[in-house]
Structure 1
Amino acid sequence: MKLKVAHLITMLEMGGAQGNTVYTVKNLDRNKYDPLLISGKGGILDETVISDRRVRTVFSRRLVREIRPLRDFLSFFELRKILRSENPDIVHTHSSKAGILGRLAARAAGVRTIIHTFHGFGFNDRQNRLIRFFYVFLEKIAAVFTDRLIFVSRENLKTAGELGIGNPSKYRLIRSGIKLSDYSHDKDKGRLRKFFAQENSKVVVSLGNLKPQKNPDDFYKIAQDTIHSSSDVYFLYLGGGDRLEEFRKRTEADGLYPRCRFLGWREDSASILSACDFFLLTSLWEGLPRSLVEAMLSGLVPLCYKTDGVLDLVKDGYNGFLFEKGDSVKARETLKKLLEENNFYSEIRSNVLKTDLSEFDIDLMVRQQEALYEETAKELGSR
């Protein structure tokens, strides 16, 4: 008999958690699993899943990303109703809001196996201490009703243990995967580079939503200061959001365009990455950024603020560089040194290419989740 698995996520935005969740639902073995996707409405990927026959989707009318106590209360009952109707064997939640409400609703609906993936935490060290304490408390409560807790980074797993979120015996590490074959450092950089940079120049790129977590203002500051002091470097930002037009106007007003461009979301992002030289990540918190894996597979030298899963990948001074959050000056100075000293850049890039990233294969990620489902199903059978 097939196991019915319901994946529950807050909203289908562009992002690693959303991309991996949709990919998992599409690619679970149909001989063993009957998958279902449950999500709030209004995400950029809504139409993608609606038009894909491999993804059966149920949309929640009340589930939203923002904290709205009354609506969240009603969302709990709506999710419980959906889960009672669908009667899945396993509920697998993703993201903070759906993770809390979804697990509580699953337990109230009588679901026997509940799994949650932390793609990053809903709390961070920049929040008000009381707010952070409240979010940690909620995660502790939800963990009581959770049979397995999946982490995408060792740093997140370590933090959860230190904070007392769930029983460590329930912890599992499953990487946030990407299609490894889509990224290569062997492609001809000149073919695409000519569209946004001059010959023999260097290109710095970042990728992600233009939202507070990603801290695009520091990316802009580093770009602005570097462009003013170096004539042979260009900056690209791949990603959209509410501030896209704002940044595009700023590059014009500050005289940075065309050496600094905000391109929005691009379907050819893999090709663009392969045409660049450096990856600049100024995020203030992360689970494990898939964009960093993509950049390193493309042979880019990473310069990153120290955040959670970044520490799993980048060894400071060996295959990239790490900076304290907000230290845009140190990041800019390191970038300048790399631009001026080609042997130094080549040494670091060589180490990037030696980094083993095979554990980030997205199909391996799906197989590991399937193995976890089988593991929990056997436990139920022995009870």
Structure 2
Amino acid sequence: MIRVCHVITLLELGGAQQNTIYTCSKLDSSRFDVTLIAGKGGYLDGDARRLLGGRVTFVPQLVREVRPARDLRAFLALTRLFRSRHPDIVHTHSSKAGILGRAAAWAAGVPAVVHSIHGFPFNDYQSWPVRRGYLLAEKLAAKWTDRFIAVSRRNAEQGVTLGIFDADSVRLIRSGFDIEAFAKAPRLAEKRREMGVPAGVPLVGTVACLKPQKAPLDFVDVCARVAHSKRDAHFIMVGDGELRAAVESRVRDAKLTDRFHLLGWREDVADILSQLSIFVLTSRWEGLPRAVLQARAASLPVVATAVDGTVEVIEDGINGYLCPAGDIPAMAARVTELLSDPARTRAMGGRAREGLHEFDQDGMVREQERLYDELAQRKC
């Protein structure tokens, strides 16, 4: 039996978090003894308890913000957990848990350490000292890491180029999801009524955490431009986060209150996507945007920013359009073009489903099992 501890900062509603919970719940229980360790207070805490029961442990000291005293307590708590549970493999996710978890695994003498890159903590929008600090932290933590998992080729190549790891130590394992759930979601009229969207009108939407990475204010600005030429169009945003108040203010300023529907976090994303005409993602940087893949499974054309892993899943002009990050006029123009050309929209949507097999969630789990087996044979 191989003992594996997964560590993630916070179980918010996002692809990395959902995939981590799914992996922990679906690893072969005859071969793997799995524990999930996370900070407390995430939207998905209840899901983790329901699916994993006593195999989930919450560490209140583990938080996203940089807080040196609290981070030290989190490191000590993780070290104690690893020393008491004697995992063969520690598998970390996200930047804070990735740094503290790997340091604690090293301190506790864990035989093998894996880190999943769902997007790096540094980006071009940070000041040079901040970006440099994150890069140095990643290089330090890499010394305690046996294998890396990248969800996008771009992140794998970036890590090699920056000297964080070499090409032999990183493996591409795609972020998986339930493809059929999105491909077969029924288009129910009552779903529009529930959301307050009139029947028959064009509906443009996004699914994203309302944080700077996802640039939700850019989405509002795109919608405002589209609304001027498409008077019957409505817009929805599924998600919540630190920028919610700013989004609400921008919607009011754009006089879109009656046509913009901010839904918060939802469990019925597949049903909501089935109502859309076009999916939009305005991210400034990404790992691999699972929401885009879900939109493709729902046969939606996608208008997205040409960043990181997004360019690996959208072929410009084939199953969607790619625009420079922050280019509001370009994104609005593409959305307007699609709304004005239903035949093109249907054709792109039809092509969107093609080639999704590599993002199957069970395939994702089996790939991780193979990696764990290799590490256990070599290190444990």
TM-score interval for Structure 1 and Structure 2 normalised by the shorter chain: over 0.9
Q: C-alpha offsets along residues 125-183 of structure 1, whole Å, 9 cap, x if unaligned?
A: 11111211221111111112111100001111111111111121111011111111211
The equivalent residue for 2:182 is 183
**DSSP 3-state at the match of 1:58:** strand
Q: Which amino acid aligns with 1:212?
A: P
Q: What is the alpha-carbon distance in structure 2 between the residues aligned to residue 286 and residue 155 of structure 1?
A: 10
The equivalent residue for 1:168 is 167
Matched, 1:237 2:237: yes
Give how far 1:323 is off. Answer: 0.8
Q: What is the alpha-carbon distance in structure 2 between the residues aligned to residue 63 and residue 252 of structure 1?
A: 36
Q: C-alpha offsets along residues 304-332 of structure 1, whole Å, 9 cap, x if unaligned?
A: 01111101101111211111110011111
The equivalent residue for 2:295 is 295
The equivalent residue for 2:323 is 323
Give how far 1:75 is off. Answer: 2.1
Work out whether residues 209 and 239 of structure 1, in 8 Å CA contact, stay in contact via their aligned partners in 2: yes
The equivalent residue for 2:355 is 356
Give how far 1:254 is off. Answer: 4.3
Work out whether residues 193 and 276 of structure 1, in 8 Å CA contact, stay in contact via their aligned partners in 2: no
CA RMSD of aligned residues (A): 1.8
Work out whether residues 150 and 171 of structure 2, in 8 Å CA contact, stay in contact via their aligned partners in 1: yes
Q: What is the alpha-carbon distance in structure 1 between the residues aligned to residue 322 and residue 144 of structure 2?
A: 37
Q: Within 5 Å, which residues of 2 pair with 1:331-350? A: 331-350=331-350
Matched, 1:149 2:161: no
Q: What is the alpha-carbon distance in structure 1 between the residues aligned to residue 185 and residue 247 of structure 2?
A: 32
Give the TM-score taking structure 2 as reference length: 0.94
Q: Within 5 Å, which residues of 2 pair with 1:92-107? A: 92-107=91-106
Work out whether residues 38 and 58 of structure 1, in 8 Å CA contact, stay in contact via their aligned partners in 2: yes
Matched, 1:64 2:44: no
Matched, 1:202 2:199: no
Q: Which amino acid aligns with 1:171?
A: V
Q: What is the alpha-carbon distance in structure 2 between the residues aligned to residue 12 and residue 189 of structure 1?
A: 30
Stretches of structure 1 that go unaligned for 5 or more consecutive residues are: none
Matched, 1:111 2:100: no
Q: 1:53 to 1:134 in 2, by over 3 A?
A: closer
Q: 1:185 to 1:29 in 2, by over 3 A?
A: closer
Q: Within 5 Å, which residues of 2 pair with 1:189-228? A: 190=189, 192-193=191-192, 196-228=196-228
Stretches of structure 2 that go unaligned for 5 or more consecutive residues are: none
Same amino acid, percent of matched pairs? 42
Deviates more, 1:247-256 or 1:295-304: 247-256
The equivalent residue for 2:138 is 139
Q: Which amino acid aligns with 1:41?
A: K
Deviates more, 1:340-349 or 1:259-268: 340-349
Q: C-alpha offsets along residues 3-36 of structure 1, whole Å, 9 cap, x if unaligned?
A: 1100011111111111111111111111001100
Q: What is the alpha-carbon distance in structure 2 between the residues aligned to residue 55 and residue 205 of structure 1?
A: 37
Q: What is the alpha-carbon distance in structure 2 between the residues aligned to residue 75 and residue 288 of structure 1?
A: 28
Work out whether residues 217 and 246 of structure 2, in 8 Å CA contact, stay in contact via their aligned partners in 1: no
**DSSP 3-state at the match of 2:355:** coil
Work out whether residues 188 and 275 of structure 1, in 8 Å CA contact, stay in contact via their aligned partners in 2: yes
Q: 1:136 to 1:53 in 2, by over 3 A?
A: closer
Deviates more, 1:328-337 or 1:250-259: 250-259
The equivalent residue for 1:247 is 247
Q: 1:137 to 1:53 in 2, by over 3 A?
A: closer
Q: 1:313 to 1:31 in 2, by over 3 A?
A: same
**DSSP 3-state at the match of 2:84:** helix
Work out whether residues 285 and 308 of structure 2, in 8 Å CA contact, stay in contact via their aligned partners in 1: yes
Q: 1:242 to 1:137 in 2, by over 3 A?
A: closer
Deviates more, 1:71-80 or 1:216-225: 71-80
Deviates more, 1:130-139 or 1:72-81: 72-81
Q: What is the alpha-carbon distance in structure 2 between the residues aligned to residue 205 and residue 190 of structure 1?
A: 17
Deviates more, 1:336-345 or 1:75-84: 336-345
Q: What is the alpha-carbon distance in structure 1 between the residues aligned to residue 4 and residue 95 of structure 2?
A: 19
The equivalent residue for 1:45 is 44
Work out whether residues 150 and 170 of structure 2, in 8 Å CA contact, stay in contact via their aligned partners in 1: yes
Work out whether residues 239 and 264 of structure 1, in 8 Å CA contact, stay in contact via their aligned partners in 2: yes
